[in-house]
Amino acid sequence: MARCPVCGLEVRLGDDYMPGELIEHDCGAVLEVVKGPSGLGVRLFEGSMEDWGE
């Protein structure tokens, strides 16, 4: 189980998440999925979000 570093609430990570993926948590924080010693976790994303359009 991962916890949001901003609000402390649980972040549900399914089997289909991969390290490096960005997710937006309920509190509005952008989190990066990371691989740790005990499985997948999250950390606060500190990069810039680029909008390439569609």
Residue-wise pLDDT tens digits, 9-53: 999 998 899 999 999 999 999 999 999 888 999 999 987 766 656
Task: Tell me the pTM.
Answer: 0.80
Residue 8 has pLDDT above 70, yes or no: yes
Q: What is the pLDDT of residue 36?
A: 87
- Range 2-44 classified under CATH 3.30.70: no
Q: What is the pLDDT of residue 1?
A: 76
Question: Quick one: DSSP state of residue 44?
Answer: E
Q: What is the pLDDT of residue 41?
A: 95
Concatenating the DSSP letter of every residue in 5-40 gives TTT--EE---TT--TT-EEE-TTS-EEEEEEETTEE
User: Identity (one letter) of the amino acid at 38?
Assistant: S
Structure tokens at 8: 């402390």
Secondary structure class of 1 (helix, strand, coil): coil
Q: How far lies 23's CA from each of 2, 29, 42, in Å?
A: 13, 8, 9
